[in-house]
Amino acid sequence: MSTVFLALQTNEETRPIIEAILQDNPSAVVDEQPAMVKINADGRLVVRRQTIEELTGRDYDLQELQVNMITMSGNLDQTDDEITLFWKA
């Protein structure tokens, strides 16, 4: 399966989000670059609202991720509960 990725700015807001992504995606691998974190995963990567809320102890709207997102790869689908990146082939 091809790699999908999501790159986020390195900052306090994204720290628990990255932690949540690593919890929810067993194939996710972190690639730290200057000022940014790139998370690669095999074929599919999910960002779950609930996991982020558990880790931060506050309500979280997944659209907040817009502020810290740098780039991504793959088809995307966003709902209230999840952002999913995936390749179909």
Partner 1 sequence: MDMTVAKKKLGLKERYAVMTRGLDWTPSYQKMEDIYPYIAYEGIKIHDWDKWEDPFRLTMDAYWKYQAEKERKLYSVLDAFTQNNGHLNVTDARYLNTVKLFLSGISPLEYVAHRGFAHAGRQFPGPGPRVACLMQSLDEIRHAQTQVHAVSNYNKYYNGMHDFHHAHDRVWFLSVPKSFFDDAITAGPFEFMVSIGFSFEYVLTNLLFVPFVSGAAYNGDMAAMTFGFSAQSDEARHMTLGLEVIKFILEQDPDNVPIVQRWIDKWTWRGYRVLTLVAMMMDYMLPKRTMSWKESWEIYFEENGGALFKDLARYGIKMPQCAEQIALEKDHLSHQAWSTFYNYAAAANFHTWMPDEDEMEWLSAKYPNSFDKLYRPRYEFWREQAAKGNRFYNKTLPMLCQTCQIPMIFTEPGDPTKICYREVDYKGDKYHFCSDHCKAIFEHEPEKYVQAWLPVHQIYQGNCFPEGTDPTVEGFDPLAAVLKYYNLEHGRDNLDFDVSEDKKNFAEWRGQATKNI
Q: Which residues bind partner 1 (CB under 8 A)?
A: 2-5, 7, 9, 13, 33-36, 59-61, 63-64, 66-80, 87-89
- Residue 26 or 58 having the CB closest to partner 1: 58
Instruction: Report the nearest approach of partner 1 to the CB of residue 83 (Å).
Output: 8
Candidates 29, 27, 31, 22; CA nearest to 70 is 31
Asked if 14 and 8 count as a contact pair (C-beta separation under 8 A), the reply is: yes
- Residue 19 or 87 having the CB closest to partner 1: 87
- Residue 19 or 42 having the CB closest to partner 1: 42
Please report the DSSP string for 20-82 in residue order: HHHHH-TT-EEEEETTEEEEEEESEEEEEHHHHHHHHSS---GGGGGGTEEEEESEEEE-SSE
Instruction: Report the nearest approach of partner 1 to the CB of residue 21 (Å).
Output: 15
Instruction: Report the nearest approach of partner 1 to the CB of residue 10 (Å).
Output: 9
